[in-house]
């Protein structure tokens, strides 16, 4: 089976005045459907930069990304938005829920950008996603009225509402206690069983221990990539 994502020679250079920051210095990686991958590496090694590019939130300076058979490294902003709302989900350490919207509205939000978007269908899909993460009892709450663990479950509901092929999670457990961490890990494991691919960045070795594959990054490159 061809890789879900095939990355070749990926570079990201940030220009800071006279200095070039090589955040990604030639990354080659394949991600396959249903994999649970953890990415480790010291601060500044390029983990978030890689997640943002693969999550269609940023573009590379150089290199190729073939996503589900299509070259996507040079897409227009419109096409990237399409991928964000249809093919990938993103979970952040700081949840990134919109404070003025309710839980239900936050989760339905990615569907608003779809061409066939319909309010009733979006709401129904958001309710199903919230049920998945055990948050059906908080539909009308605002994010500030939730605990950290609950906010992250809502963020996961938002990431899965569009039935993505892959979820990128950048330190999703970084702000959570042990009990909530294990709840989030259980949730991610249940997504993988359904064939969704999960790529998770973490500094927590106990969290990485749940993954089937561990990639270590260093100075913008893959230092180690091992199956377990
Ligand atoms: N928008 C930006 N402009 C300039 N430099 C940037 C930008 N974003 C990241 N960098 C630089 O690129 C490098 C990689 O950053 P990145 O955020 O990907 O690291 P990281 O591995 O996610 O680190 P952490 O574990 O601290 O989150 C760092 O040297 C950082 O300073
Ligand atoms: Mg980071």
Task: Report the alpha-carbon angle 133-138-143, nearest 5.
Answer: 90
Residue 92 CA to ligand 2 center (angstroms) comes to 10
How far is residue 71's CA from residue 141's CA, in Å, rounded to a whole number? 40
Q: Is 118 exposed, middle or buried (0-12, 13-18, 19+ CB in 10 A)?
A: exposed
Q: In the 3-class helix/strand/coil scheme, how is 148-184 assigned residue by residue? A: HHHHHHHHHHHHHCCCCCEEEEECCCCCCCHHHHHHH
Residue ranges per structural domain of the chain: 35-51+77-227
Q: What pLDDT does residue 190 have? A: 94
Give the right CATH number for 35-51+77-227 from 3.40.50.720, 3.20.20.150, 3.40.50.300, 3.40.50.920: 3.40.50.300
Q: Ligand 1 pocket: which residues have CB below 6 Å?
A: 14, 16, 21, 23, 41, 43-49
- For ligand 1, pick from 16, 39, 41, 49 the residue to mutate: most ligand atoms within 8 Å of CB: 49
The answer to whether 146 touches 157, Cβ cutoff 8 Å, is: no
What's the pLDDT tens digit per position in 12-22?
Answer: 999 999 999 99
- pLDDT beyond 90 at 192: yes
The pTM score is 0.95
Pick the residue with more confidence: 115 or 91?
A: 91
**Residue closest by Cα to atom 25 of ligand 1:** 43
Q: What is the mean pLDDT of residues 3-16?
A: 97
- Distance between Cα 25 and ligand 1 center (Å): 12
Please answer whether residues 60 and 210 qualify as being in contact, where contact means their C-beta atoms are separated by less than 8 angstroms. no
H or E element that contains 10: strand 5-16
List pLDDT tens digits, range 51-67: 999 999 999 999 999 99
What distance in angstroms lies between residue 47's CA and the mean position of ligand 2's atoms? 6
Residue 182 pLDDT exceeds 90: yes
| Strand residue runs (E) in 32-178 | 36-40, 62-67, 70-71, 88-92, 166-170
The alpha carbon of 209 and the centre of ligand 2 are apart by a number of angstroms equal to: 19
**62-96: burial string, b at 16+ Cβ within 10 Å, e else:** ebebbbeeeebbebeeeebebbbbbbbbbbbbebe
Identify the pLDDT of residue 1.
Answer: 80
Q: Tell me the pLDDT of the chain averaged across its residues.
A: 96
């Amino acid at each position: 089976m061809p890789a879900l994502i095939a990355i070749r020679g990926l570079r990201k250079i940030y220009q800071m005045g006279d200095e070039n920051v090589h955040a990604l210095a030639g990354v080659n990686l394949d991600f396959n459907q249903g994999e649970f991958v953890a990415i480790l590496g010291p601060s500044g090694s390029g983990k978030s930069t890689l997640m943002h590019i693969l999550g269609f939130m940023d573009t590379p300076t150089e290199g190729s990304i073939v996503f589900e058979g299509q070259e996507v490294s040079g897409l227009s902003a419109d096409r990237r938005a399409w991928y964000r709302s249809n093919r990938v989900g993103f979970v952040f350490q700081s949840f990134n829920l919109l404070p003025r919207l309710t839980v239900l509205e936050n989760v339905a939000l990615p569907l608003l950008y779809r061409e066939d978007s319909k309010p009733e269908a979006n709401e129904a899909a958001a309710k199903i996603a919230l049920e998945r993460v055990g948050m059906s009892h908080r539909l009308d709450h605002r994010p500030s009225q939730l605990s950290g663990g609950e906010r992250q479950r809502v963020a996961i509901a938002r990431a899965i509402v569009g039935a993505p092929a892959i979820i990128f999670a950048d330190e999703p457990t970084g702000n959570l206690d042990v009990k909530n961490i294990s709840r989030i890990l259980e949730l991610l494991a249940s997504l993988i069983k359904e064939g969704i691919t999960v790529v998770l960045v973490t500094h927590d070795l106990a969290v990485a221990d749940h993954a089937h594959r561990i990639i270590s990054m260093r100075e913008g490159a893959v230092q180690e990539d091992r199956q377990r």
